[in-house]
């Protein structure tokens, strides 16, 4: 087991990539605090972990609110005694940020708050606890859209999602440099388009789905489990000399 006796906090653990990572970590021996904006979804993930025989708690909160971010970290340490791994997976897109009719400014602010500020806040409270534990690994969920722009004609010009994920990439690099002497590694994952509830509005349309598949040299979308495997590598001691990296898991998307 590659994460035996480790303690992990996973935000956005109620579905998609976050859930896949929480389950993968638990399978590898970690105790997992599964956090989500929806307590019902977090509890469902926790139940799945318990069925695997893992130790877990379900947490709920808004990562973009400082007190909630602090409470997630404190609850994890209170339950398991330490914090070794943080996966910042909680995120939204302009498609699901706010109800229809919201202003462009409101949508921009909300996406930046959750995706970038939320990653910052949970990390802010996690780093001191990792220092106490002697080190740790922070993994931020960015995106290929944090490295390149949306394809022409896809409506990305004023979309706040790519800038929010580009910010996560840069935050990852700067925090990695600052935390290196504390034995805390900080990396991010940049998935291509992955088939989850997050992308369901796109993949439910056959024409759009075919367009997205064609963008990837491997000719298909990714699976949450494939991103979880990469997260496991970054969380484990196998990546002991890896920090400040934006690791693409994208079927060749950014190689073009």
Strand ranges (DSSP E) for the chain? 7-11, 31-36, 56-60, 85-88, 136-141, 184-191, 246-249
Rg (CA), the chain: 17
Question: How many CA atoms, within 13 angstroms, populate the side-chain half-sphere of residue 202?
Answer: 20
CA 199 centroid distance within chain: 15
b/e map of 65-97 (b: 16 or more CB within 10 Å)? eeebbbbbbebbbeebebbbbbbbbbbbbbeeb
CA 238 centroid distance within chain: 20
CA distances from 249 to 136, 179, 252 (A): 22, 24, 8
Q: Give the whole-angstrom CA distance, residue 211 versus residue 234.
A: 31
Which residue is it, tokens 């997630």?
Answer: 72
Q: Which residues are tagged catalytic?
A: 161
């Amino acid at each position: 087991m590659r994460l035996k006796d480790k303690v992990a906090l996973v935000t956005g653990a109620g579905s998609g990539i976050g859930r896949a990572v929480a389950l993968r970590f638990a399978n590898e021996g970690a105790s997992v605090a599964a956090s989500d904006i929806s307590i019902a979804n977090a509890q469902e993930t926790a139940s799945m972990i318990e069925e695997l025989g893992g130790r877990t708690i379900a947490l709920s909160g808004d990562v973009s609110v400082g007190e909630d971010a602090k409470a997630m970290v404190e609850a994890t340490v209170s339950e398991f005694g330490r914090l070794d791994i943080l996966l910042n997976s909680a995120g939204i897109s302009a498609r699901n940020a706010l109800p229809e009719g919201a202003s462009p400014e409101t949508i921009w602010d909300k996406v930046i708050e959750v995706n970038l500020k939320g990653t910052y806040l949970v990390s802010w409270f996690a780093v001191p606890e990792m220092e106490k534990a002697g080190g740790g690994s922070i993994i931020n969920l960015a995106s290929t859209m944090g490295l390149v722009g949306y394809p022409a004609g896809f409506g990305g010009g004023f979309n706040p999602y790519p800038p929010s994920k580009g910010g996560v990439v840069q935050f990852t690099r700067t925090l990695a440099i600052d935390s290196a002497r504390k034995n805390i590694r900080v990396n991010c994952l940049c998935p291509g388009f992955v088939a989850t509830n997050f992308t369901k509005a796109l993949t439910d349309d056959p024409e759009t789905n075919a367009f997205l598949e064609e963008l990837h040299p491997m000719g298909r979308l990714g699976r949450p489990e494939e991103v979880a495997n990469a997260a496991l590598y970054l969380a484990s001691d196998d990546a002991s000399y890896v920090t400040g990296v934006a690791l693409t898991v994208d079927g060749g998307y950014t190689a073009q």
